[in-house]
Amino acid sequence: MGSLEHLVECDKTEYANVNWDELGFALTKTDYMFVMNWCKDGEKFSEGVLTRFGNIELCPSSGILNYGQGLFEGLKAYRKEDERILLFRPEENALRMQMGADRMCMPSPTVQQFLDAVKKTVLANKRWVPPHGRGALYVRPLLMGTSPNLGVKPASEYTFLVYASPVGSYHKGPNLNLVVEDKTHRATPGGTGGVKAVINYSPVYKALSEAKAKGFTDVLFLDALTGKYIEEGSACNVFVLKENVISTPPAHGTILPGITRKSIIEIALTFGYQVEERAVPIEQVLDAEEVFCTGTAMVVRSVASITYKEKRIEYKMGAETVAQKLYATLTGIQTGLIEDKMGWTVAID
């Protein structure tokens, strides 16, 4: 961090000094984060404060470090052409965090506390919101057990923290080439796959690293019970299209109920597509016309190929795809280019 004079000077600048066109999906440290603590005595979250972005102190025995008692969220702030800033469906993130907190035995911020914290974080880091059409400010709320916890039990103290980073594309390369992973699984029935628990993500590293080493972009996981049905990617939901029917696995337990997933289903229905939330056998994916991934980080991305048991299938790509039409509508709404008839965006300036 620089001197206070320097930071105050920076705060006056309209845009941070970032090469917006070079942004990928990696942390660019911004100015402020928001921190709010929950403690057993009062059984509620404190008021919460914006502080300079920086490292936090944790007991080596904290619940988050030892037993992974933690959740995260991800949402984006976009700059409209007129410079105003829009959040996309932030209330959905607040509600999903509450659902996850229940599963992980954690207290959760109220929807209002969550929304206030997100808005404050974005406004305090306004100069890091990329110019219109050149990326987004990714907002990352965290909820974690922070009290010392040697035994296996829920923590007695929690921290809710929100930080933000400007981001561009999640996968920078031109094509998304997936490989089906049939040895390890992302989620099991009765586990935590259906909530945004921090512990859902590092278990995918092994499959992802092996896939990348073989030249693939990402993996496609199968269900843990039968190994016959698709589930999701390492950080995205998956859709398949055949004869104007769009199918995706139902968000029942092992599938993350993605907010982009939900929005794409709603947009597709308004376009008149039939959308089926059902178990999708891997054989049907290999026979599909289009496959695409969705997520806050990923947005909507056509899949160029899927490799399963050494066989590579290629899918329709480009401007004429249904995925592209859905992407254009979603991002048009998110960035204020298309009228938001759904009431999904929240202007925060």
Q: How far apart are CA 191 and CA 122, in angstroms?
A: 33
Q: In sequence order, which ranges of the chain are alpha helices (DSSP H)?
A: 4-12, 63-67, 90-103, 111-124, 205-213, 259-270, 282-286, 322-334
Nearest approach, Cβ of residue 39 and ligand COI (Å): 28
The sign of the dihedral angle between the CA atoms of 22, 23, 27, 31 is positive
State the nearest-atom distance from the C-beta of 320 to ligand COI, in Å: 26
DSSP annotation of 130 reads P
Give the CA dihedral 110, 165, 170, 328, nearest 10 degrees: 70
CA distance 86 to 119: 10
Task: Measure the CA–CA gap between 78 and 29, rounded to whole angstroms.
Answer: 18
Q: Which of 196, 206, 311, 316 is catalytic?
A: 196
Minimum gap (Å) between residue 265 Cβ and ligand COI: 16
Give min distance, CB of 31 to ligand COI, in A: 21
Determine contact, residues 121/34, Cβ cutoff 8 Å: yes
First to last CA, the chain: 26
Q: How far is the CB of 8 from ligand COI (least distance, A)?
A: 32
What the block records as the tokens of 280 is 């999708």
Q: Are 240 and 246 in contact (CB under 8 A)?
A: yes
Nearer CB in complex with ligand COI: 207/308: 207
CA distances from 212 to 110, 120, 215, 332 (A): 39, 37, 5, 32
Could you confirm whether 196 is annotated as catalytic?
yes
Closest to 140 in 3D by CA, of 172, 166, 103: 166
Question: What's phi and psi for 97, nearest 5 deg?
Answer: -65, -40
φ and ψ at residue 36, rounded to 5 degrees: -140, 130
Between 208 and 280, whose beta carbon lies closer to ligand COI? 208
Residue sitting closest to ligand COI (CB): 74
For ligand COI, which is the closer residue by CB, 201 or 273? 201
Shortest Cβ 250–ligand COI spacing (Å): 19
Amino acid type, 9: E
Rank residues 149 and 254 by Cβ distance to ligand COI and give the closer one.
254
How distant is the alpha carbon of residue 24 from its chain centre? 14
Which one, 74 or 194, has the nearer CB to ligand COI? 74
Whichever of 76 and 185 has its CB closer to ligand COI, that residue is 76
Coil/strand/helix, residue 100: helix
List contacts with ligand COI (CB under 6 A). 74, 201, 235, 295-298
Q: Which is nearer to ligand COI, 63 or 100 (CB)?
A: 100
If 0-12 CB within 10 Å is exposed, 13-18 middle and 19+ buried, where does residue 223 land? buried
Active site residues: 196
